[in-house]
């Protein structure tokens, strides 16, 4: 990497540190623009960076501040430095074609060494926002989500089973007496039992309102992956919009496309309004307090925009929290730079949430699956891309956003 390239990379890091979402493609485009205008004058450098690195009008003041601090003494130095010639660089995306040779590598083999930088298209897609995917990218994202192994955390059961290890549970009197018959009734070989663990029930409440429409398809497919996964225990799925719709039976099919088609046909308020408080009250009255949420892991997927009263949502969340083992709230907007839970519904529900995580990409859904299996954000190893409130943080009145 030449010195001008290092300066550009440092500038991109400085912008990211201040909250700007600078992607690799934007940084490469800035390098090309800088090549075209030249780094000798300050004004062309400023406009080249602003045109390629800034995507929102509200980010312009942040960009101006970082540019003034970072490029104060670097424009002239970058212009006077000579780039050390290096091997040609070829950027390629890995495909399943079975070949390792980059495009046109054989044609340019006589010109010297070729440095090939390759990245996986699947890896890039895993971190892409689901709302901005093209049709072919969305088809691949669907395949990745359906391939997720969604398993629930386990809980101790009242049942026991024979154990080979001594002292790990209560003694197995029946087996001990049966084995003692071979020794004249003397219990020479004692047997033991150990407790059995069972997966907890998972309940998904999926917001299918208009504001969640770009992410609802991916979240419904994630819920289908939980229903279809073996060892995930009992899973209940409800669609939450202007009314509450149970879609567990529709999603209980092996074919993801058939399951999603059946579920979408039964949800009459898809991409409509949002009544989170009224929907949660109906769930608590008909399903939750009666047993579906008792001791379960409840996953609410919503952006928190509610047309109802925040007090109703807060009271129903308190009812749900008293019977549920854990409440996980998945908000795709949490991944946005500078996000704060200022929506009335989100602010009212957050004190009763154990884990507050993202749900905007395949990678964030993979982390959600890890949280559900491990029993919390801390149990999942604190993977990047999620933050949880946790029971300890909620008891202290501190929300880790």
- pLDDT of 316-325, one tens digit each? 999 999 999 9
For residues 184 and 260, state if they share a domain.
no
**β-strand 244-246 against 235-240: which pairing, if any?**
antiparallel
**β-strand 192-199 against 154-163: which pairing, if any?**
antiparallel
- pLDDT tens figures, 108-161: 444 445 545 455 567 778 888 898 888 888 889 999 998 888 888 888 788 888
Residue-by-residue pLDDT tens, the chain, 401 positions:
456 667 777 888 888 888 787 877 778 888 888 888 877 778 888 888 888 888 778 788 888 888 888 776 555 444 444 444 444 545 455 555 444 444 444 444 444 455 454 555 677 788 888 988 888 888 899 999 988 888 888 887 888 888 877 766 788 888 888 888 888 888 888 888 888 888 899 999 999 998 898 899 999 999 999 998 865 568 999 999 889 999 999 998 888 889 888 988 898 888 888 889 999 999 999 988 778 889 999 999 999 888 888 899 999 999 999 999 999 999 998 888 778 888 888 999 999 999 999 999 999 999 999 999 887 654 444 433 334 444 434 433 333 33
Residue 14 within any structural domain of the chain: yes
Neighbour tally for 31: CB within 10 Å: 17
For residues 192 and 219, state if they share a domain.
no
- Report residue 164 CA to chain centroid gap: 40
Residue 22 within any structural domain of the chain: yes
Counted residue by residue, the chain has a size of 401
Collapsed DSSP state (helix, strand, coil) of residue 327: strand
Q: Which of 51, 80, 109 finishes a domain? A: 80
- How far is it, in rounded angstroms, from Cα 178 to Cα 168? 20
For residues 167 and 235, state if they share a domain.
no
pTM: 0.63
Query: Do residues 212 and 239 lie in contact, with contact meaning Cβ atoms separated by under 8 Å?
Result: no
Q: Which of 58, 80, 102 finishes a domain? A: 80
Residue 316 within any structural domain of the chain: yes
For residues 383 and 252, state if they share a domain.
yes
Q: Which of 173, 197, 221 finishes a domain? A: 197
Residue 69 within any structural domain of the chain: yes
- How far is it, in rounded angstroms, from Cα 363 to Cα 369? 10
Residue 32 within any structural domain of the chain: yes
Structure token pair of residue 117:
């930088």
CATH code for position 372: 3.40.50.410
For residues 246 and 367, state if they share a domain.
yes
For residues 387 and 353, state if they share a domain.
yes
Angle value at C-alpha 221, between 217 and 226, nearest 5 degrees: 150
- Provide the domain count of the chain: 3
For residues 190 and 309, state if they share a domain.
no
Domain that holds residue 45: 3-80
For residues 254 and 187, state if they share a domain.
no
Residue 245 within any structural domain of the chain: yes
Structure token pair of residue 152:
């629930």
For residues 208 and 297, state if they share a domain.
yes
Q: Is 203 exposed, middle or buried (0-12, 13-18, 19+ CB in 10 A)?
A: buried
For residues 58 and 185, state if they share a domain.
no
For residues 185 and 56, state if they share a domain.
no
For residues 42 and 168, state if they share a domain.
no
Residue 128 within any structural domain of the chain: no
Residue 93 within any structural domain of the chain: no
């Amino acid at each position: 990497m030449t010195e001008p390239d290092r300066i550009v990379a440092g500038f991109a890091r400085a912008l990211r540190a201040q909250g700007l979402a600078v992607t690799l493609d934007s940084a490469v485009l800035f390098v090309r623009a800088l090549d075209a205008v030249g780094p000798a004058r300050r004004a062309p450098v400023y406009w080249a960076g602003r045109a390629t690195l800034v995507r929102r009008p509200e980010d312009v003041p942040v960009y101006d501040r970082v540019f003034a601090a970072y490029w104060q003494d670097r424009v002239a130095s970058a212009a006077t430095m000579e780039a050390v010639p290096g091997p040609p660089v070829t950027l390629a995306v890995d495909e399943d074609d079975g070949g390792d040779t980059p495009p046109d590598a054989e044609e340019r083999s006589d010109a010297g060494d070729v440095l090939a930088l390759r990245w996986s298209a699947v890896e890039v897609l895993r971190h892409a926002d689901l709302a901005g995917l093209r049709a072919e990218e969305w088809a691949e994202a669907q395949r990745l989500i359906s391939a997720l192994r969604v398993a629930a955390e386990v809980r101790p059961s009242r049942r026991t089973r024979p154990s080979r290890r001594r002292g790990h549970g209560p003694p197995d009197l029946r087996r001990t007496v049966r084995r003692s018959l071979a020794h004249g009734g003397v219990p020479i070989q004692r047997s033991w039992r150990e407790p059995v663990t069972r997966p907890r029930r998972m309940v998904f409440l999926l917001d299918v309102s208009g504001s969640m429409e770009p992410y609802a398809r991916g979240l419904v497919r994630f819920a289908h992956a939980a229903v279809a996964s073996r060892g995930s225990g009992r899973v209940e799925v409800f669609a939450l919009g202007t009314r509450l719709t149970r879609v567990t039976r529709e999603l209980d099919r092996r074919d993801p496309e058939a399951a999603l088609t059946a579920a979408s046909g039964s949800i009459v308020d898809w991409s409509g309004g949002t009544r989170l408080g009224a929907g949660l009250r109906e769930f608590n009255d008909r399903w939750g307090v009666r047993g579906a949420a008792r001791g379960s892991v409840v996953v609410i997927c919503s952006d928190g925009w509610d047309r109802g009263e925040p007090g109703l949502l807060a009271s129903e969340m308190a009812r749900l929290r008293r019977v549920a083992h854990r409440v996980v709230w998945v908000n795709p907007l949490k991944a946005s730079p500078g996000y704060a839970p200022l929506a009335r519904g989100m602010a009212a529900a957050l004190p009763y949430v154990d884990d507050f995580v993202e749900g905007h990409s395949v990678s964030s859904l993979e982390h959600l699956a890890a949280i559900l299996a491990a029993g919390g954000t801390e149990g999942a190893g604190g993977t990047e891309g999620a933050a949880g409130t946790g029971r300890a943080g909620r008891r202290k009145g501190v929300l880790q956003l």
